[in-house]
Chains A and B, each alone.
Chain A
Amino acid sequence: MTKAYYTGLTGLLSLLLSTGVCADESYARLSIHTHVLASSCAACHGTNGNSVGGTPVLAGLNAEHFIRQMQAFKSGDRPSTVMHRHAKGLTQQEIVELADHFSRQQRHTAELPARAISDRP
């Protein structure tokens, strides 16, 4: 396999439309690679970067700002507890594509799940 990224909105969308499943529009816009990688950030930053609090909201973040911060984490210019580990593990292209991805996400108030009704006696 020589091609690492599935880019090209038009080609991908036409493929999707020709089948039964019509993938989410944003899914088609960026490469699958970036889409899945971005979703891995959700554990700390919420779905599509909409954090419930404590960590920065990445949704709608200016792309250049995102890239600058990630480079600062990578170089150590911005001190961090854990982000330098993640920044160092990513390629420059991944950082640029993540910046693009998160900058296009809609900001909204993230939800927490309701507490379950206890069955403890």
Chain B
Amino acid sequence: MLDEETPVIYGLEFQARALAAQLAETEAVRFYVGTQSLKFDNQVHRLELDEENNMIKREVFHHGDGEIWHISASPTDKNVISTVYNHISPEKSCTKHTAVWRTSDEMNPTTEIRNLKLLTKLNTSSMGDDIKCTHFHPTEENKLLTVVDGTFAIWDLNAAGGSCDATTKGAIEGKGQPKFSTAKWNPHQGKSHVATANDMFIRGWDTRTNQEAWLIESAHNQLVRDIDFNPNKQYFLASCGDDGNSKFWDIRKTKVPVVTRADHSHWVWCVRFNHFHDQLVLTSSTDSRVILLSAASISSEPFGHIVEEESANEDKPVPLKDGVLALYEEHEDSVYAVEWSSGDPWTFASLSYDGRLIINQVPKSEKYKLLL
């Protein structure tokens, strides 16, 4: 059995900032990582944690089209991923693209580097240059969301083969050509809503009408880097940004955050709710730290809910309080991404710019507090 206090470290040869959990996989702990190099051929690594030997098994795919800025995995098909990448032409000009790829079948312990099969290239040329991310719809396998500059687009892969055009588009208007920094599907409200972030604002959109549903003005003092919906409790949203804060919002009351945390000392790049125990929240920052937060006060699991009658007589486990549960300092460079595993609710991976991937676990003591 894996010693939970010891992290497993995997080093990539290149710098990297794209990380995704293989969402369709619910047994094994698996992650996709995309590299970022301007000079060498880029790769997608599929990594599996071998808990028996405390090692990482890997599979490598060529991603020759350019450096990967964002990667996401299909929630239904284990072998389908999407990437946002920067393509450099021989004339030394850069263009960003986004595409859906198929990897090979099941984990294969070969060491040879295989190729990805291009499924669809999403046509963003009409929308702008700077593609930030492409996300699969949480349940519908053929739906995707992409943000480009000040536009978000929704794709339906079924509608057309090969190169495909957006079925829906929405855009913000404002002074100085505002650009989205990220976007997310809202897993609630019929899964037809998305949320976007631009500068200091977070907006909710209804994709059926492409109208703004709600708006959080000055969510952060500076740029909002990432947002994440609580997967189990609707209306609740986490955000993080360049002011070093992580904030939790109830999107029905957008004036003030429900909880504000300032645990990092520089930009917070990523925030993620645990899908099973949503009081556990991970944040990663350019201060090279990953922090495991408890947001128990706004969790979908109310205090004492899990405490049964019998255990009430025994030493009652103290319900989790809000605050920092654990601080992970194994990284030496900025940590741009952190993801929970879809296979094991207590495991997560974090990726720093120097190509170091670290798989960590929730500390045992905190785990028991939640389970008992």
State yes or no: do A and B come from one complex.
Answer: no
Chain B residues packing against A (C-beta within 8 Å)? none
